């Protein structure tokens, strides 16, 4: 009987520890690219507050600690005028105040206590967050609708440690990925990663493939890249999965 090669997405974890694979709240397959364990990390040492005047797309972050604090997309902030998620990577230097771009997660706009960092959005909603901020005009609206509905139905913060990244699949199709330690060019040049997700799984790069939404951040220690297919497929699946559970 001929041997059938594994899906390219699963070759991403070749040579690593066996991946943890589970079905998420929206019926999608989530592949962890490293150890998957529950981790309630302490919130970042930041004092979060509303801007003056408050606005839905921004929060003030004061860093009273002695070192820089990094916030990455998907960090959940509850309370304040609305529950929101960090929409872009921000490094808040010690002793400074920064404006943090955020995405509202509901239509609420009234005080509910001080804003508090409270875990992260799950990968599916983080991918929608990327689409809501960086997709085309029509796609942004669709992604935002699915993001709000998915969060409304499953508002509990994600307590799984995703520090090594993840893949989000429907069957053998990769819908989104969060890659850690991947350099800017695509496909990645790092030997440990480059054989695993060849061109065609998520396209050949943001410039070459208009069907790919890409968000990258690097701070000298590591690079983080979020890749999401630029289509309504993920939004439709989250809406359908959320409503059926």
Short-list 33, 53, 19, 39, CA closest to 160 = 39
Q: Give the chain's domain count.
A: 2
Q: Are residue 67 and residue 171 in the same domain, yes or no?
A: no
Q: What is the pLDDT of residue 187?
A: 36
Q: Are residue 95 and residue 133 in the same domain, yes or no?
A: no
**pLDDT, tens digit, 9 for 90 and up, residues 139-166:** 999 999 999 999 999 888 887 767 778 9
With cut-offs at 50, 70 and 90, classify the pLDDT of residue 211: confident
Least confident of 84-93, 175-184, 231-240: 175-184
Where among 118, 147, 173 does a domain terminate?
A: 118
- Greater confidence, 192 or 16? 16
Q: Quick one: residue 18, left, alpha or beta (phi over 0 = left, psi -120 to 50 = alpha)?
A: beta
**pLDDT, tens digit, 9 for 90 and up, residues 214-226:** 888 776 566 888 9
10 Å CB burial of residue 26 (0-12, 13-18, 19+) is buried
The reported pTM is: 0.81
| 3 falls within a domain | no
Q: Are residue 69 and residue 22 in the same domain, yes or no?
A: no
Is the pLDDT at 49 greater than 60? The verdict is yes
Q: Are residue 142 and residue 182 in the same domain, yes or no?
A: yes
Cα-Cα-Cα-Cα dihedral sign, residues 229, 231, 233, 236: positive
Q: Are residue 97 and residue 113 in the same domain, yes or no?
A: yes
What's the domain range around 95?
Answer: 47-118
Where among 118, 143, 165 does a domain terminate?
A: 118
Q: Are residue 26 and residue 144 in the same domain, yes or no?
A: yes
Where among 118, 140, 163 does a domain terminate?
A: 118
Least confident of 65-69, 202-206, 212-216: 202-206
């Amino acid at each position: 009987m001929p041997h059938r090669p594994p899906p390219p997405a699963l070759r991403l974890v070749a040579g690593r520890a066996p991946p943890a694979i589970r079905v998420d709240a929206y019926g999608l397959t989530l592949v962890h690219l490293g150890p998957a364990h529950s981790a309630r990390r302490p919130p970042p040492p930041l004092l979060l507050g509303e801007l003056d005047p408050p606005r839905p797309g921004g929060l003030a972050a004061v860093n009273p600690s002695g070192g820089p604090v990094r916030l990455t997309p998907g960090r959940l902030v509850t309370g304040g005028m609305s529950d929101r998620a960090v929409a872009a990577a921000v490094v808040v230097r010690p002793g400074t105040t920064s404006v943090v771009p955020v995405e509202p997660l509901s239509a609420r706009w009234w005080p509910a206590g001080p804003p508090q960092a409270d875990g992260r959005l799950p990968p599916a909603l983080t991918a929608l967050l990327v689409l809501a901020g960086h997709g085309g005009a029509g796609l942004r609206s669709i992604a935002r609708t699915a993001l709000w509905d998915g969060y409304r139905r499953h508002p509990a913060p994600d307590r799984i440690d995703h520090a090594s990244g993840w893949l989000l699949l429907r069957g053998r199709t990769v819908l989104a990925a969060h890659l850690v330690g991947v350099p800017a060019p695509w496909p990645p040049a790092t030997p440990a990663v480059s054989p695993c997700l060849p061109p065609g799984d998520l396209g050949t790069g943001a410039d070459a493939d208009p069907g790919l939404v890409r968000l990258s951040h690097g701070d000298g220690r590591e690079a983080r890249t979020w890749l999401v297919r630029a289509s309504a497929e993920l939004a439709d699946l989250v809406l359908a999965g959320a409503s059926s559970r």
